[in-house]
Amino acid sequence: INLRCIERIYGDHGLDVIELLRKNAHVALPVILARLKQKQEEWARCRFDMNKVWGEVCAKNYHKSLDHRSFYFKQQDKKSLSTK
């Protein structure tokens, strides 16, 4: 188990949970594993829901992203065509 995951999930109490895991692994491990699985399912659901939103945003911004140099082209064109 990645100890960093435990610290992230349990927040401020992460170090306490890791200490309990080291002292009493056979009792703490099933509880920690259940919590990790629960969080993994929660994040997977959240990612699935957000993929719809992210897909819409990407589709909306796709054509704008293709035109990222138009400002500089217009600026250069204006400079070259203007009379000084």
pTM exceeding the 0.75 threshold for the entire prediction: no
**DSSP code at position 12:** G
The pLDDT tens digits for 17-26 are 999 989 998 9
The pLDDT tens digits for 30-81 are 999 999 999 999 999 999 999 999 999 999 988 877 777 777 777 888 888 8
Which of these, 4, 3, 6, lies nearest to 37 by C-alpha position?
6
Q: Rounded to whole angstroms, how far apart are CA atoms 7 and 20?
A: 13
Model pLDDT, residue 50: 96
**DSSP code at position 83:** -
Model pLDDT, residue 56: 94
Model pLDDT, residue 68: 72
| 2 Cα distance to chain centroid | 18
Model pLDDT, residue 1: 59
Q: In the chain, which residue ranges form alpha helices assigned H by DSSP?
A: 3-10, 14-23, 25-66, 70-81
Q: Rounded to whole angstroms, how far apart are CA atoms 69 and 31?
A: 54
